[in-house]
Structure 1
Amino acid sequence: MTARTALVAAALLAVLAPAVANAQSASGPQGTWLTQAGDAKVRIKSCGAALCGTIVWLKQPIDPNTGKPQIDDKNPDPARASRPVIGLQIFGDMRPVSQGKWSGHIYNADDGKTYESSISHTGPTTLKVEGCVGALCGGEAWTLTGR
């Protein structure tokens, strides 16, 4: 390999390495997702070997009954019922179970309950989020709004 060839190879590697890294990270669900109802955005990021999801935006951030920021008032634990919904981590234990699918638990601030759950990256901008109680499962599609 000549010095010129080595220089060209090094330059190509410097240009292509970030693109490869971005393509690899784009295959996972990391990013900010809008719920199917359009009432919340959840930021998903890696937390060690698991995925974490945190509410970062609400369509209605102020409770119309109190005039104050929405709180986790459906939570049966009185110590947690006054925490703000924005910033609330709704899952932190999603672990990979197959290509493009993670399983764990998800907290639903609408009813204050935690459910067995899975998330599946079904396309570059879609995420299927499912929750189950026993054999009964329900799900919705979230839309990517930003990485």
Structure 2
Amino acid sequence: MRALLLVAGLGLAAAPAAARSPVEGNWSNPANSVTVRIAPCGGALCGRVVSASAGAKADAAAAGTERLVGTELMSGLEQTGDRSWHGEVFVPDRNIRSEADFTLTGPNRLLVRGCALGGFLCKEQNWTRAAAAPVRTTRRR
């Protein structure tokens, strides 16, 4: 019985950890007004807003997104190549969703290219890898 448990335990210990995607982590838009965290979600990758400037929050609210922090801006990212993914992007200050391509152009650069209206309206942005989002703390007196 002990031998069986030992073998089962060794089998579990030898199981490889899931490889982390190079696109996972925190990314800031070109204006540094929004930071998203790209992480696994439901079998793909998603990017949720972890911090945003007051101006970005106001622009999003004016277009109908009341709470920008926590909003999923990037969804369904599935790897299409060595350094590329395809998914969907949400532009909160315009209230538009569109298909998008995501390409790592360097270890700390992510090109995001989305097209709406059947490919008629396209835009691309270079996002940069960011440090972890600030954590709010309260001081005790």
Could you say if the C-alpha distance between residues 114 and 107 of structure 1 is closer, same or farther in structure 2, counting changes exceeding 3 Å?
same
- The SS at the match of 2:130 is strand
Residue 145 of structure 1: aligned partner? 130
Provide closer, same or farther for how the CA distance between residues 74 and 141 of structure 1 changes in structure 2, counting only shifts above 3 A.
same
Q: What residue is the counterpart of 2:5 in the other structure?
A: none
Q: CA deviation at 1:38?
A: 1.3
In 2, Cα distance between equivalents of 1:107 and 1:61: 17
Q: Which residue of the other structure, out of 74, 79, 83, is the alignment partner of 2:63?
A: 74
Give the equivalent residue in structure 2 for 1:43. Answer: 37
Give 1:4's aligned residue.
none
TM score, norm. by length of structure 2: 0.69
Partner amino acid, structure 1, of 2:84: K
Please say if 1:110 is aligned against 2:99: no
Conserved? CA contact 2:33–2:56, under 8 Å: no
TM-score normalised over the length of structure 1: 0.67
Give me the CA root mean square deviation: 2.8
| Runs of 5+ unmatched residues, structure 2 | 1-16, 133-141
Post-superposition, which runs of at least 4 consecutive aligned residues in structure 1 deviate over 6 A?
A: none
Name the amino acid aligned to 2:103.
Answer: S
Please tell me whether the aligned partners of residues 57 and 67 of structure 2 are also in contact (alpha carbons under 8 angstroms). Answer: no
Taking the TM superposition and a 5 Å limit, the aligned residue runs for 1:11-30 are 25=20, 28-30=22-24
Count of matched residue pairs: 116
Matched, 1:53 2:47: yes
Structure 1: segments with no counterpart, 5+ residues: 1-20, 65-69, 76-80
Contact 1:72 1:112 in 2 (8 A): no
